A and B are shown apart, each in its own frame.
Chain A
Amino acid sequence: MSQSSSTGSFDVASLVEDVNLRRVAQYALVVFFLGFFLVPLETGIMTAIKTNESVARSLPFAPPVGEGFTLGNIQFALEQLSGSFFNSLIMSIPATIGSVLFGSMAAYGLTMVNWRAQMGVLMLFVVGVFVPYQAVLVPLARFWNNIFPLARMIEPMVASIPFFQGYHAELVPLVITHIAYGIPICTILFRSYYQSLPNSLVEAGKIDGASITKIYRRIILPISKPMFGVVFIYQFTQIYNEFLFAFTLVTGSDAPAAPVTLVLPAIGASTSGIDFGIRMSAAFLAAVPTLILYVAFAEQFAKGLRTEA
């Protein structure tokens, strides 16, 4: 351990040797796991920028050399994915904003008040975080297809919006679904933050005669900006990466409204097998938005995960 070197009363020589050996082993393990976590990604990227011939000939993780280098795979994958990228973004962004706002409101309402059934209501939110979505898939499909076919109802309206096509209406039920099922986790994340705030903040507002809405808008919203960042990043990553709801409501990788995650498992596949150059390019492109967010806000992302547990 690093602190050991600061104490000089021991047999310094043996201590240094001991510490050094241990630290070498420790760093060796750290580097080994660095490889463990990075090799699948590195291999994917290298395969994405190789020609088919080079993929067949060279080691999977080796970078392409000379003629073996190509951007053709990425270009092809980008063409295939561009429509679904748009679908993914116009679905994820409103869904994230909606669930984050509702989550913040619910958490505020639940930490603010003191009434008996509060714990019961909170429990229902917490259980909602863990419910396997399989348990609501059949109802979801029935609800949006048969009982309340919202997509079909608003299709002409959506078609008249510039840059949008009629089929984008299919994403509206998906957005609502994501908001509704995203509320529990967002509420729990915000609640843990609001609980850590000092009581005096709200008390002061109350003594000044501020209404509950005013306290929320003037006091709570401004100081919870960092938490909004955490929840937003966490929730956007979840929704963008999500597959099962899109699979249930949009169905089929060839549907024009399919988000990226739905299209990806079918790209580059043919009767003769999978073209891994194309498949890896597509996987990499699909991951770019969340990767950028992660690299820029890794600490916030980790905080979201920690709070969830």
Chain B
Amino acid sequence: MATHDNTEHVSDATDEAVGWESKLQYFLNSDFVRSAPYWGIPFVLMSIAVYGGIGYNFAISFTDYEGLGTPDYSVLDLEMYAQALSSDAFIAAAQNNLVLLVGFTTICLVLGLFLAILLDHGIRFSEKFQTVYLLPMSLSFVVTAQLWLWMFNVESGILNLVVTTLGFNPVDWLGNPSIALGAVIFALIWQFSGYTMVVYLAGLQSIPDDQFEAARVDGASITRTYLRIIVPQLKEASVSAAVVLMVFALKAFTFLYALVGRYRPPNGTDILATLMVRRAFKFGEWAYSAAIATMLLVMALGVIGPYLYYQYKQGSL
């Protein structure tokens, strides 16, 4: 719907002939000005909230603001950043965050791709199955955290039922710091793999059917067809799904909070997002948590920056 703005060309061409009043008239009648109230009002509101908020957070992160009272902007330094980077809690949280980001994103992509291929061809009522696979995405993290808390329950949870039936000792999924993060990743995969499936299915459906036909006529097996011909064409779907998943992994707070109902998530699952919220709202260390939040933002921008640049270069924005 990019309609070209003819009025501006007219005003350029007759620069000398018309006075400033009619130029102003042209300007005020141009699409730019007339459409400004439409995008302008939401833009201002959004900018204040998002970019104003980020700027304010940035400013607070340079102060020593904590507890009650107001931030003091007379001394601004990077002390909070230095303090965070040298603290063990921050480093542990960053490590957990990295594990979550890589593990969660990779497995979600692989499982989602597998599910998409599984449902793509030759399944009756494929759409009904898709609906069920995607269902967890419609639930709140608060709800899914409760469901999984029960699944992971040491005495009566289903996972331990399986484990003990197989002849092993029951596992304390969320209580054992070395496996708690894995358990959390597992639950989040349950919630998100339907999403990657939907993204991949959209990609698969845009690939013309003759490619399958041609490969089949050539005698290629189905596995080979997918691996060699189809999957390489899903690069864009993979990239955009990966970006959404990675950004989610950086900010995942709700699920971890809701598992235990308190600021400190199960041992071994503390990530930057939970650390930041705990420092801010439990201990009132506003400046310190603002610094963590800024670093979190920089990481998120590190993920989406290259992606948006790539999209922009491709002209697909």
Contact = CB atoms under 8 A, between A and B. Distances in A.
A47 interface: yes
A82 interface: no
A286 B140 contact: yes
B20 interface: no
A187 to B, nearest CB: 7
A287 B143 contact: yes
B149 to A, nearest CB: 8
B185 to A, nearest CB: 15
Interface stretch (B81-89, B101-109, B130-138, B169-177): B130-138
Interface size class of A (residues with CB under 8 A): 35 or more
Given A109-B38, A243-B254, A306-B202, A131 B134 contact: no
Interface string B228-256: 00000000010011011001001101100
A59 B142 CA distance: 24
Contact of A40 (B53, B190, B260, B290): B190
Contacts of B147: 40-41, 43-44, 280, 283
B36 A109 contact: yes
Interface string A295-309: 100110110011011
B38 A108 contact: yes
A163 interface: no
Contacts of A287: 139-140, 143
Contacts of A309: 199, 202, 237, 240-241, 244
B19 interface: no
A146 interface: yes
A74 to B, nearest CB: 14
Contacts of A26: 118, 122-123
A61 B3 CA distance: 59
Nearest to B142: A261
Interface in A40-93: 40-41, 43-44, 47, 55-56, 59-61
B138 A59 contact: no
Contact of B38 (A105, A135, A139, A265): A105
Contacts of A146: 70
Interface residues of B, number: 112
B51 interface: yes
A41 B136 CA distance: 9
Interface string B47-82: 111111110110010000000001000000000000
Contacts of B151: 39-40, 43
The secondary-structure label for the interface of chain A is: helix
The secondary-structure label for the interface of chain B is: helix
Given A1-B222, A212-B38, A305-B199, A195 B258 contact: no
Contacts of B145: 265
B199 A113 contact: no
A114 B4 CA distance: 6
A37 B135 contact: yes
Interface in A125-141: 125-128, 130-141
B118 A30 contact: yes
B137 A305 contact: yes
Contacts of B134: 298, 301-302, 305
B212 A1 contact: yes
Nearest to A139: B56
A106 B147 CA distance: 38
A237 B138 contact: yes
Interface string B284-309: 00100110111011001101100010
Contacts of A242: 140
A283 B143 CA distance: 5
A132 B300 contact: yes
Given A106-B38, A305-B198, A280 B281 contact: no
B11 interface: no
B48 A265 contact: no
B258 A197 contact: no
Contacts of B1: 111-112, 194-195, 197, 199, 201-202
Contact of A139 (B60, B140, B149, B303): B60
Interface string A1-36: 111100000000000000000110011011001101
21 contacts: A26-B122, A33-B115, A33-B133, A34-B132, A59-B161, A103-B42, A106-B42, A121-B39, A130-B243, A181-B46, A216-B38, A243-B142, A243-B257, A265-B261, A283-B142, A283-B143, A283-B146, A290-B139, A305-B134, A305-B137, A309-B241
Given A141-B280, A301-B137, 5 more contacts: A3-B213, A41-B135, A126-B308, A206-B3, A291-B139
Interface of B: 1-5, 31-32, 34-43, 45-54, 56-57, 60, 70, 115, 118-119, 121-123, 127, 129-151, 153, 156-158, 161, 190, 194-195, 198-199, 202, 209, 212-213, 216, 222, 237, 240-241, 243-244, 247, 250-251, 253-254, 257-258, 260-261, 272-273, 276-277, 280-281, 286, 289-290, 292-294, 296-297, 300-301, 303-304, 308, 312, 317
